[in-house]
Every structure is written in C-alpha cells, then in structure tokens.
Structure 1
Amino acid sequence: MRKIFQKTLVAALILGSIGVSAQSKRDLDNYRYTDKRGVNVFEAPKTLDSNFDGLKVRLGGSFALQYQGISHENSGSVRLQPIGANFNLATANLDIDVALYDGVSMHLRTFLSSRHHHETYVKGGYLQVNKLDFIKEGFMEDFMKYTTIKVGHMENNYGDAHFRRTDNAQSLHNPFVGNLIMDSYTTEVGAEVLVRKNGFIGMVGVTNGKLNQSVEKTEETLADGTYEEGRSGGASFLAKLGYDKQINNDLRIRITGSMYNTGYVPNSYLYAADRAGSRYYGVMIAADAASDDFRSGRYNPNLKNSISAIMFNPFIKYKGLEFFGTVETATGKATAELEDRTANQLAGELIYRFGKNENLYIGGRYNMVDAEDMTHGDIEIKRSQLVAGWYMTNNILMKMEYVNQKYEGFGATSTLEQGKFNGVILEAAISF
C-alpha cells in the first residue's frame, strides 16, 4: 500500500509541476476543458477558427480523494463486511492531448491509480478530425464545417449522462460524488461521425462491441456435450439525435435521444465497463468475500450477448438553476437465455449554482432502477442524493454528498436482501 501511495503522490507532483510551468498557451482547438470551464459541455466544441502553429502537446491530469462515512445493513441472511469512516485510496489520471495538424488532434487518458486497478493502465484514446486539410487544403470543407470524426479505442458517445459522470479521478464535471446506478459507459474500438448545425445534433457510430480486445473465438458447449466454434466478435451500432441551443443569455435547452444496439457480442460491458470502480467503497459486500466488489452500489443487468439500449436526456439551464434527466431502457439476454429481459432507469437532478461565477452549488438527484434480474426476478433499486459543492478555483472542487440507497426484491442468498446503505462522502478533486 505504501508503494501505491508513493507512486500516486509522485505522479501528482509531476502533473502539478507540469501544470504550473505550462499554464500559458495550454488551450487547444476543439477541446473540452477538464476544469470548471468544461462543466455542462457535452461533445467537444467545434470551431472554424484555428490557432494551430505546429505540433503541440498538452499534458494534464486529475487527482481525487474522498473521506467516506457510510453504513450499510441487510436482512442478515448473508453477513456484510464491517465498514467504517476513513479515507479511500486516492485516484489519479494522466491526460495527453496533442494538436497533430490543423483540425486534427489526439487524446489519451491513463489511470495512474484507481479502485480496481491500483497499477497504471490506459483507459483509451482516439484521433479527432475536424478538418481534412491534411488530404488537400479545403478538402470537403463545406461538409467538415459541421462535422467531427472520431476513431480509436474510446468511450462510446451513448447518451448524455456519460459527459457528467466521474471518470476515475476526473470529477470536476460531476456535481455529485457517485455516478448513476446503471452506469452506461464502455470503451470499444470504433468510429463516430458527429454533425452539428444550427443547434441540431446527429451522430452515427460503429464499434466491435468488445471492451477487452482479442482475436480468440468463443467456444460453445452443445446439448450433446460436443463443442461448436463460436465467433471472435460482433458489432455495436450507436446513434444520437438532438437539439442544443442557447436561447438567450439566461436560458439554454438541450434534449437528445441515443441508442446502442448489438446483434451479438461475446460479452457486453455497457453497464460493467468502468474498471476504475464505484465511489461507494465496500458497501453491500459479504463478510467472507474473497475480494473487493469494485462495482459496489451499482447494478449491471447482465445482458451479456445481445443488447438494445435507448436513452433520453433533457437538459435545461435557466440562470443558475439547471435540470438534467435520464430516461433509459435496455433489453437483451445471454445466449443461454430463452427470452429477453428488460431493465429501466430514471434519474432527475436539480442543481442551483450561485456565487461569483457560479462557484458554489447545491442540488439533489433521485435515481431509480427496476429490472428483470436473471437470478432474482423483478427487482428495484432506489437512490437519493443531496450535494453541496465549492469551486475554490477553476481547477479545485470540494463537494459533500449525502446518499441513501435501498434494494427491493433480492432473494435470501443475496447480500442485497432488504439491503440499504446511507451516509456522507466528502470529496476533494483537482483537474488541469
């Protein structure tokens, strides 16, 4: 543990020294800022103005630390591990963004320390193209005036909730400490084409549907005990339609609908791909568990081999008051299942930002999931969150959250039978 802390501390000091020595001229074209300026920004902005004057590397990062005071309980049929109040392991990210050419950039994010992987590993990266001048000056400029192309092993642009979630140590864009119960987020190899004009948004994408990349084929056991060679992969398709407009100085409205669909994949990770782990450490885990359940507090409907998911997200901001909602339904199954199952999610959050440059905020979120669980049948999970936050600077955020979560419908063999947890988390976050 001492080595992990030392490595994280050294990385944070290196990142900090880089940030201090390179504050001037760090901004890139078509870039979503990782600090407070990126709050309520969804897709990276598109501008026709260019500041490109040669290859430029922007090093940045994030650091987050929580003090957790949460208690949990259940029916008692399965004993829970005791948990108390203390600090969690600090998390850290390293971001490398490169302006490669006029209108062409690269992004790479590495997790230096996280709940699940204490060791350093790459989350993903992509090439972003806003101009095709590298082919020929002015090539398809009428089309590219409104178009952004992304290619890589990257976070899928399914829904709008993933733009407000905490990404390991990158916490400044999330007004809360925890993400949604069904945390729809995954990184897959693919490409997306995004078109924006006069406030209208359209996106189509395709990926190979795999979190863990491999050329190996699956092997399926037949009823007579023999084996049948399966497939090495499948494909996932994404689409998004929406409208985002600053109506006047006080009012902004955005509403989008998104879909994610796979015909077949060896293992779908849409609700289980975040290897950084949940912010609610140690909750609802059995006392005799062999290891930490790094997804504790979340729910994965485990639609393993085929899935069709749809998400609607309204966002309204009037002066300092903002509302963001999530309406989501996902249907699918594992190959061995005879019928599809469905999981539904509703979430609504209301935030009021005030003070100088809206550097203070208070808010609440209600999140509910009802699903046809593969093991327990019909289940329901309800969560309430209250939060207060303070942007000390554009790069430093302090927030305190009270969370209360309850489980219904889980059987006697589950740690979640009549389960609930509640308490307070304080989080300090830095991003630059």
Structure 2
Amino acid sequence: MKIKFKKLKVASAILTSFISSQALAAETSKIQFSGAVMQSWQAGMEVDGAAANPANAESDSGFHRLRFALNVNAQVSERVSIFAELAEEPNDWNNGSAAISQDLAWIQFDMTDSLGLRLGNLISTTQTFLRYSDGAAVQANPFVGNGLVDMITAEEGVWVYGVHDVSNDTNITWDAVVSTPDFFADFSDGRGYNYGLRGTLNFANGLSFGAGTFKTNHDIEAVRGKAFGSAIGLGDGDNYQFASTPVSARGTHTLIIPGVDAFIWQADVQYKIDNFMVHALYGNASDDYSWANGQGSLQTDYVEQESEMSFWSIEGKYDLTSSAYIAVRYQESTNDSEGIETENDATRLQIGAGWWMNDSTLFKVEYVNQEEDQFSGGGATDFGAAGGAEWDGIIAEASVTF
C-alpha cells in the first residue's frame, strides 16, 4: 500500500507540475479560445422556370448540417499575435467529408499603434462594411443568407492595414493585400498574384464612405483545367440549398467573371447610429476572359472574350428593441458581357428579423426571393434558356458564440 501511495504522490506531483507549466505558458502567451455553432432550417426552395438543374425544381424542407468553428488567439509578445479558425463549413469549400479545416489564420505584427501586418490566409474583398455569414460565424450578418453580389473570398498572402485619426471625430481606415488564390499551394507557371486595396472615411455622426478595388492576374494556361482563376467573383458560400446542387457550389451567386485577368471596384456609403443602419453600394467587375461554354456555371475552360457585370445593393436594419430587429436588403446585378444586351438582370430580395436571447445567442428568420433573367448568369438558371428562373423560400437560423 505504501508503494502504491508513493507512486500516487509522484504521479500527482508530475501532473501538478505539468498543469502548472501549461498554465504558466498559457499566461505568458495569453492564449484564448472562442468559437461559434450554427444550426439552420429552410422551407422547400423550388426553382421555377429554366432551372440549370431540373432536379432542383422540387426541393423539400429540412435542416442543414450544423456548422462549427473554434478560434485560437495567442498573444506571443507585445506586438506579435497569432489567430487561427478551425471550422467545418459545408456551405463553402468543404467537400462533404465533414472535416474540420483551417480557413482563416494569420500571424499578426502590430508595427505601430496604427499600422499592422498579417501573413497567412486572409480576406480578399472589395467590400468595406462587412456583414456576411461564413460557416458558423454568422452573427455580424443581420440576414441568414449572404448577398447576391458579394465579392469576397479568402486567399493566401500578406495584408497591411492601418487606422488614422484625421481629427477628434473623424478617422480613416485602409488595407492592402497581395495574395495567391489557392489554399492548396498551386505554383503553376503564370499563376500570378492578386492585389487589393480598400479604404473608409468615417465621421462621428455615423456617416461613412468606402471604396475597394481588386485585381487578379493569371495567365490563361495557368488556370485552364481549374474552375476559376480567383473565387472572389463567385462570392463566399451561401446558406440556401437546393435538392441536387452541392452545398459548396455557388448556385445562388451570379457567375459571370471567372477571375482570370479581372478588375473589380466598389464604392459604398453607410449611415449607422445606435438603432438604425442604411448601406448602399455600386460596383463593376470585368475580366478579359469568359468561361468557354457560357456563363452561369463553373467550368474548366476559357476563351479570350470580355465578361463584365455591374451591380448595386441597398440594405437597412432597424432595432425594434435592445434585443430584436428587422432588416431588408435588395441587390441587383447586370450582365454587361460582350454580345449581351437584354434579359441580363438578376435580383435578390431579403426580408429578415432577429432576436437576441442573450449576448451570445441569436435567432434569425428570413424570406428570400431571387429572379434570374435568361442571360443574367445566375447560378440557378439554365443560361440562355428563354424565361430565366425564379426561386424563393423561408430560412431560419440559431447561432451561439462562446
């Protein structure tokens, strides 16, 4: 018994020492964990008209796969920190394997109090006021779904950013990114780099102006055989799902520019106070190349023919109480590609409401209606088929952050 007791005391001492050392390391590097979980449900969403996939004409209601994210933040030193998001995002780029993957992650260097640099997997976008759902990270978005014309993705590279006070009540924010568009280390000759630049001017009364640009730069042979040059023109994964479209597809986004040799710009204006927000934007995206077999679906071959789209959006959010709100968003894109002049619009209307059960728990419900003209390039429409297509439905979501 004495031998066993001594062994127990030794084991206990070793365990205590290990826990203490780990606690000391955690305290030294200030490691913090956080995360999010989201579960959603949708009514049946049927594609009426010339559906790109006729099997989507009838879609039943059901629950989506739960989405989960774990965030790790580590303050390594006064000016060096690390961030990593480990997430399952079946609505984005996961392949149905239910795998936890690294999505966003970076090393951050705070060079001064107003200037920073990040290296890693970064956000590439022309949007300056971000409100979108990314896997389980959904609470910044007052709606359940994302926008029809969101120009946003994640890429590998370097991100420099800053914030500067112009006066006591006005500041400027900006960021610049140089990136490559593939998480899987594609070093094909001619793959090239992408370049982005954004900025905002923010006044104390709640009025802000923003603008963003983005340039992709890939030789055609480097991307031939791949479904796109950069995913920025295809938007982030959405939360609406049809019967026979893969959950990671972009079937609800306009698919006009393949992102091979593209230039995108966007201008925004926003007015936001404690209980009210209104935001409007206008932008244009063009590419020297098009998908070889028409628009509206991802392909792996391209032709040297200009593709172009213009787009605009307006949205508003009003807080009914400290815990409940309503929101409306309307967006429209126009296919201005070479040879296309009529029946080329796609629109999305979203009407949403939300209720905060507590500071970390949000319930949302939304009605969505999307109309896609014959040549709109909408992902649910059989491109070129007379009459286009339309779909609508109701979707609900519960999310918790921790």
TM-score bracket, shorter-length normalisation: 0.7 to 0.9
Task: Give matches, 1:1-80, under 5 Å.
Answer: 54-75=28-49, 79-80=54-55
Which residue of 236, 239, 245 maps to 1:279?
A: 239
Q: CA deviation at 1:150?
A: 1.4
Task: Give matches, 1:29-428, under 5 Å.
Answer: 54-75=28-49, 79-81=54-56, 82-115=58-91, 117=94, 118-131=98-111, 144-156=112-124, 158-161=126-129, 163-198=130-165, 199-215=171-187, 217=188, 231-245=189-203, 247=204, 251-264=205-218, 266=223, 267-272=229-234, 274=236, 277-282=237-242, 294-334=249-289, 336-355=302-321, 358-372=322-336, 379-410=344-375, 417-428=387-398
Residue-by-residue CA offset, 1:368-393 (whole Å, 9 max, x unaligned): 11114689875211111111101111
Q: 1:153 to 1:73 in 2, by over 3 A?
A: closer
Shifted more, 308-317 versus 298-307: the winner is: 298-307
Q: 1:319 to 1:124 in 2, by over 3 A?
A: closer
Q: 1:403 to 1:237 in 2, by over 3 A?
A: same
Distance (whole Å) between structure 2 residues aligned to residue 69 and residue 84 of structure 1: 7
Shifted more, 170-179 versus 199-208: the winner is: 199-208
Residue-by-residue CA offset, 1:310-366 (whole Å, 9 max, x unaligned): 1112221134111122222111133853342211121111100132xx321111000
2:218–2:261 CA contact under 8 A, matched in 1: yes
Q: Amino acid of the residue matched to residue 210 of structure 2?
A: T
Q: CA deviation at 1:73?
A: 3.2
1:304–1:333 CA contact under 8 A, matched in 2: no
Distance (whole Å) between structure 2 residues aligned to residue 331 and residue 270 of structure 1: 12
Q: Amino acid of the residue matched to residue 426 of structure 1?
A: A
1:386–1:401 CA contact under 8 A, matched in 2: yes
**Aligned to 1:54, what secondary structure does the other structure show?**
helix
Distance (whole Å) between structure 1 residues aligned to residue 265 and residue 235 of structure 2: 18
Give the fraction of aligned pairs with identical amino acids, expressed as a percent.
17
2:282–2:312 CA contact under 8 A, matched in 1: yes
Q: What residue is the counterpart of 2:400 in the other structure?
A: 430
**Aligned to 1:164, what secondary structure does the other structure show?**
coil
2:153–2:232 CA contact under 8 A, matched in 1: yes
Q: Which has the larger radius of gyration?
A: 2
Q: Amino acid of the residue matched to residue 148 of structure 1?
A: G
Q: What residue is the counterpart of 1:16 in the other structure?
A: none
Q: What residue is the counterpart of 1:19 in the other structure?
A: none
Distance (whole Å) between structure 2 residues aligned to residue 307 and residue 419 of structure 1: 27
Q: Amino acid of the residue matched to residue 207 of structure 1?
A: S
Residue-by-residue CA offset, 1:197-237 (whole Å, 9 max, x unaligned): 1101232221234454222x2xxxxxxxxxxxxx2520111
Q: 1:256 to 1:416 in 2, by over 3 A?
A: farther
How many pairs does the alignment contain?
A: 341
1:282–1:293 CA contact under 8 A, matched in 2: no
Q: Amino acid of the residue matched to residue 164 of structure 1?
A: R
Q: CA deviation at 1:293?
A: 6.2
1:189–1:210 CA contact under 8 A, matched in 2: yes
1:107–1:125 CA contact under 8 A, matched in 2: yes
Q: Amino acid of the residue matched to residue 239 of structure 1?
A: L
Q: CA deviation at 1:401?
A: 0.4
2:126–2:213 CA contact under 8 A, matched in 1: yes
Q: Amino acid of the residue matched to residue 92 of structure 1?
A: F
Distance (whole Å) between structure 2 residues aligned to residue 302 and residue 212 of structure 1: 22
Q: CA deviation at 1:53?
A: 6.7
Q: 1:297 to 1:208 in 2, by over 3 A?
A: closer
Q: 1:302 to 1:157 in 2, by over 3 A?
A: closer
Q: Which runs of 5+ in 1 are unaligned?
A: 1-51, 132-143, 218-230
Q: CA deviation at 1:90?
A: 1.2
Q: What residue is the counterpart of 2:10 in the other structure?
A: none
Distance (whole Å) between structure 2 residues aligned to residue 350 and residue 207 of structure 1: 32
Q: CA deviation at 1:417?
A: 4.9
Q: What residue is the counterpart of 1:42 in the other structure?
A: none
Distance (whole Å) between structure 2 residues aligned to residue 86 and residue 75 of structure 1: 23
1:150–1:192 CA contact under 8 A, matched in 2: yes
Q: Amino acid of the residue matched to residue 231 of structure 2?
A: Y
2:104–2:122 CA contact under 8 A, matched in 1: yes
Distance (whole Å) between structure 1 residues aligned to residue 29 and residue 251 of structure 2: 42
Residue-by-residue CA offset, 1:96-135 (whole Å, 9 max, x unaligned): 111111122111112235235232211131112224xxxx
TM-score, with normalisation over the residues of structure 2?
0.77
Q: Let me know the Cα RMSD of the aligned residues.
A: 2.7
Shifted more, 300-309 versus 73-82: the winner is: 73-82
Distance (whole Å) between structure 1 residues aligned to residue 28 and residue 55 of structure 2: 57
Residue-by-residue CA offset, 1:383-423 (whole Å, 9 max, x unaligned): 11111101111111001101111111248667895311112
Shifted more, 261-270 versus 171-180: the winner is: 261-270
